[in-house]
Copies of this chain bind each other. A is one copy, B any other.
């Protein structure tokens, strides 16, 4: 007999155990999804700090109390959203084929980021805010560092097979930082300086030269 456990937790348990979902479970899952979707929008529009719980529940067309049945507080739903976004990204990163060398892999990595953020601007803004949160708010460091570390490791693992014999982990980490930094930074600034079509045309040659310089840096 469990009492007062967050619905979000039991939802995850149900998923993991692959329990057959009845109508009640579906209702919980639907409410959970509504809150997540609303929170993503609201965080992206107002900023995580500025957004209130009522902003989220009103956007989700739910009562305020419902939020607290699913999530402990704002930081928890933020952590869930970051987790989800990172999972999508890493899933796309793994979905690759016909990659024969480092340059192609680098292009793949950059392309995945480009397409993902092109189609999911909210997630882009969310992750960027999350990155900063890491430095800003020590309280949620533990919750945030996990997904982001996994993210960097994912990139590292993709690049490792194409490296020279002596596998310098430090060098790969630098590369992962540079790739992620390039994509995030480029998009961030492109948003103020460029129109949407311009980004499309300018990312291609820039990506190519960036890939070339990175791979040459890697081979020494």
Contacts and interface: CB of A to CB of B under 8 A. Distances in A.
Interface of A: 44-50, 125, 128-129, 131-137, 145, 148-149, 152, 170, 173-174, 176-178, 180-194, 198, 202, 205-206, 209-210, 212-214, 216-217
Can you tell how many copies of this chain the complex includes? 2
Nearest to A211: B213
Contacts of A47: 49, 132-133, 136-137
B194 A190 contact: no
B213 A209 contact: yes
Contacts of A182: 181-182, 185-186
A217 B192 contact: no
A192 B128 contact: no
A106 B43 CA distance: 36
A117 to B, nearest CB: 12
A170 B176 CA distance: 29
Given A47-B137, A125-B132, A213-B210, A181 B189 contact: yes
Contacts of A192: 131, 134, 145, 148-149, 152, 177
Contacts of A188: 131-132, 181, 184-185
Contact of A180 (B152, B183, B189): B189
A190 B198 contact: no
A46 B137 contact: yes
A107 B217 CA distance: 16
Contacts of A214: 206, 209
Contacts of A125: 132, 135-136
